[in-house]
């Protein structure tokens, strides 16, 4: 999801939802957004650098079997690790968004490998991942890339950009959460 700094108009968080049309399910929790805080260095030094926002909720979420906190990532690059990506976006370029939350698995690349496809566009605030025929796509922006560390999901990336959807030779590019931990701590008050 792309948000303008400070603009919370019409935005809300819906937690525990797995089908777009079941938002009246009692297990689903909703909260208005009080504040949007974008990373001040967004687009610095590259076009999609520091692609992250914090949303301040009006009401607290209650953790249960459908809604759980995510864990902060470790300060490792995760290169070679299999991670889960998920979202509500299209399943191919030009397609329609899905009704059900979808997920798949991809493998994290080194930034050096990713830079072969995207020369001079990848920096330390980004992380790339790919697998044949698997990727996030239009409508998945802001969604998680998570590493399953013995049942604890570390959100180590946020869907940001890429060339097409699952194009051979072009990994999906995600905002690297570990590069933003200090900014998150300083701004999550």
Q: Which of 53, 117, 141, 178 is catalytic?
A: 141
- Which one of 5, 18, 23, 70 is the catalytic residue? 5
- Catalytic entry in 49, 51, 160, 178: 51
Residue 179 has φ and ψ, to the nearest 5°, of -75, -10
State yes or no: is 7 an active-site residue.
no
d(CA 174, CA 52): 10
Q: Are 1 and 142 in contact (CB under 8 A)?
A: yes
- Distance in angstroms (rounded) separating the CA atoms of residues 183 and 179: 8
To the query of whether residue 53 is one of the catalytic residues in this protein, the response is: no
Which positions ≥6 away from 80 have C-beta within 8 Å? 107, 108
Q: Does residue 5 have an active-site annotation?
A: yes
| Whole-angstrom distance, CA of residue 155 vs CA of residue 71 | 6
Residues tagged active-site: 5, 51, 141
């Amino acid at each position: 999801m792309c948000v303008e700094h400070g603009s919370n108009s019409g935005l809300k968080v819906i937690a525990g939802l797995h089908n777009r049309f079941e938002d009246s399910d009692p297990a689903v929790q909703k909260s208005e957004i009080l504040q949007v805080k974008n990373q001040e260095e967004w687009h610095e030094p590259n076009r999609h650098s520091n692609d992250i926002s914090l949303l301040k909720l009006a009401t607290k979420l209650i953790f249960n079997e459908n809604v759980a906190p995510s864990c902060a990532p470790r300060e490792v690059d995760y290169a070679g690790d299999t991670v889960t990506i998920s979202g509500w976006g299209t399943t191919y370029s030009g397609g329609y968004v899905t009704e059900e939350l979808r997920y798949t698995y991809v493998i994290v690349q080194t930034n050096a490998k990713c830079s072969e496809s995207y020369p001079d566009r990848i920096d330390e605030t980004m992380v790339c991942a790919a697998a044949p025929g698997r990727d996030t796509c239009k409508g998945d922006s802001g969604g998680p890339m998570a590493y399953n560390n013995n049942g604890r999901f570390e959100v180590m990336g946020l869907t940001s950009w890429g060339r097409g959807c699952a194009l051979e030779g072009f990994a999906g590019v995600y905002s690297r959460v570990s590069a933003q931990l200090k900014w998150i701590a300083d701004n999550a008050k």
